[in-house]
Amino acid sequence: MPRISKERQQDRRNSILAAGRMVLSARGFNDAAISAIAAEAGVSDGLVYRYFTNKRDLLIAVLADFYEGIIDNLEVILDQYDTFEERIRAIVYEHIARFASDKEMCELFLTEIRVSNNYRETEIFRLNRRYTSIVVRTAQDGLARGEMNPAIGPRLLRDMLFGGIEHFAWRHIGRGVAIDVDEGASKIAEVLLHGVCARSTPPNPPKAHTGK
Which of residues 173 and 169 earns the better pLDDT score? Answer: 169
- Rounded-to-integer distance, Cα 131 and Cα 124, Å: 10
Residue 212 has pLDDT above 50, yes or no: no
Query: pLDDT at position 1, please?
Result: 44
Query: pLDDT at position 100, please?
Result: 94
Domains of the chain, earliest start first: 1-52 (1.10.10.60), 59-212 (1.10.357.10)
Handedness of CA 109, 113, 119, 123 (dihedral sign): negative
DSSP per-residue string spanning 24-48: HHHHHHHH--HHHHHHHHTS-HHHH
Question: What separation in angstroms does the CA of 194 have from each of 137, 146, 169?
Answer: 20, 15, 21
When pLDDT is cut at 50, 70 and 90, the band that residue 7 belongs to is confident
- Rounded-to-integer distance, Cα 50 and Cα 79, Å: 40
| Contact (CB, 8 A) for 184 and 96 | yes
When pLDDT is cut at 50, 70 and 90, the band that residue 203 belongs to is low
Q: Is 189 exposed, middle or buried (0-12, 13-18, 19+ CB in 10 A)?
A: buried
- Rounded-to-integer distance, Cα 42 and Cα 208, Å: 43
Averaged over 38-58, what is the pLDDT?
Answer: 96
Average pLDDT score over the chain: 91
Averaged over 133-143, what is the pLDDT?
Answer: 96
- Rounded-to-integer distance, Cα 142 and Cα 16, Å: 42
3-state DSSP assignment of residue 186: helix
| Contact (CB, 8 A) for 78 and 87 | yes
